[in-house]
């Protein structure tokens, strides 16, 4: 079976900074995978490399058997960016943001057709944003904004979905809605890769995990990946235990 994401021997430098060092990752369709690692461990760089936005010095990336650029053009891959990477003052309504997921499919008139409007309506319903469809994107809460971007991936029909810190600044209700949706998308055959700092939530969110520190330190079930010896390697301390200690 063709892997959803195949990263082989990928090394990335920014000038003298080594951000990724010989990274190998394979992710199959039907799985939700959590990507964890300390600040600066290379998570965003790995996402950008998978999206074809950063070109590796060495190594290769394939998405559903094709190049990242092709996966972007054909809508195979969808991306929910970190909040800091989005200009929230942009004058787009929620519905328009979701419609951008259809752009790869619009004919040469660039005008959405009935099927495009239906796909957007359906996606908005799934993320429970139908009532806010006409509101400017910047006037939504943090969790609602994330849900709008997840809806964009749904409307796009993305088979591979990357989410960079989707739960940062998000309340429990939105977190639960997003988690449920991501699991449903994976059950429908999508591959979902999520970066997160919330190690406690990982087992409830993902069925596999990757621990990154420029290299892949561990890749397996969340239980295996979060073993104390792995966390000690990645974070220097037993972080799970430390977080549980009273302040
Ligand atoms: N555009 C850039 N120019 C120079 N160095 C960069 C650039 N982007 C990232 N880096 C460096 O590359 C390394 C990996 O950064 P990256 O943003 O991928 O880490 P991260 O795991 O996503 O971090 P965080 O958890 O803080 O978001 C860091 O040392 C960072 O300082």
Domain identity same for 99 and 169: no
Q: How many domains does the chain fold into?
A: 2
Q: Which residue has the tokens 């053009």?
A: 73
Report the half-sphere exposure of 179 (CA within 13 A, side-chain side). Answer: 18
The CATH number of residue 10's host domain is 3.40.50.300
Residue 233: the pLDDT is: 85
Domain-embedded: residue 37: yes
Closest ligand 1 atom to residue 38 Cα is 25
Compute the average pLDDT of residues 222-227: 94
In a domain, 187, yes or no: no
pLDDT value at 8 more than 80: yes
Rounded Cα distance, 232 and 218, in Å: 12
Q: What is the pLDDT of residues 197-220, one digit of tens each?
A: 888 889 999 999 999 999 999 999
Closest atom of ligand 1 to 82 CA is 27
- Gap from CA of 46 to ligand 1 centroid (Å): 10
135 with 167, same domain: the answer is: no
C-beta 43 within 6 A of ligand 1: yes
Q: Which domain holds residue 87?
A: 83-157
Same domain as 165, residue 139: no
Decide if 104 contacts 71 (C-beta within 8 A).
Answer: no
**29 contacts 80 by C-beta, under 8 angstroms:** no
In a shared domain, residues 58 and 87: no
* Percent above pLDDT 90 for the chain: 65
* Tally of CA atoms within 13 A in the half-sphere of 50 that contains its CB: 30
Rounded-to-integer distance, Cα 101 and Cα 204, Å: 28
Task: State pTM to two decimals.
Answer: 0.90
- Is the per-residue pLDDT at 69 higher than 80? yes
- Asked if residue 184 belongs to a domain, the reply is no
Tell whether the model's pLDDT for residue 245 goes beyond 70.
no
Instruction: Give all strands of the β-sheet with 215-220 in edge-to-edge order.
Output: 77-80, 160-164, 191-195, 32-36, 208-213, 215-220
| pLDDT tens figures, 152-164 | 999 999 999 999 9
């Amino acid at each position: 079976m063709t892997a959803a994401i195949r990263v082989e021997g990928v090394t990335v430098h920014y000038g003298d900074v080594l951000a990724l060092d010989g990274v190998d990752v394979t992710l199959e369709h039907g799985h939700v995978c959590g990507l964890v690692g300390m600040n600066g461990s290379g998570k965003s760089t790995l996402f950008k490399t998978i999206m074809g936005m950063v070109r590796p010095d060495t190594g290769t990336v394939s998405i559903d058997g094709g190049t990242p650029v092709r996966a972007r053009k054909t809508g195979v891959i969808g991306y929910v960016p970190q909040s800091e990477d989005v200009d929230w003052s942009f004058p787009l309504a929620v519905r328009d943001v979701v419609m951008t997921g259809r752009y790869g499919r619009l004919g040469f008139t660039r005008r959405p057709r009935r099927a495009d409007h239906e796909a957007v309506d359906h996606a908005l319903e799934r993320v429970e944003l139908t009532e806010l469809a006409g509101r400017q994107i910047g006037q939504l809460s943090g969790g609602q904004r994330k849900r709008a971007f997840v809806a964009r991936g749904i409307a796009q029909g993305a088979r591979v979905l990357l989410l960079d810190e989707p739960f940062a600044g998000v309340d429990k209700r939105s977190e639960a809605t997003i988690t449920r949706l991501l699991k449903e998308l994976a059950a429908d055959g999508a591959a979902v890769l999520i970066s997160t700092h919330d190690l406690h939530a990982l087992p409830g969110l993902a069925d596999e995990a990757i621990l990154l520190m420029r290299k892949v330190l561990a890749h397996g079930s969340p239980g295996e990946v979060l073993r104390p010896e792995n966390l000690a390697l990645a974070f220097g301390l037993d972080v799970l235990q430390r977080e549980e200690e009273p302040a």
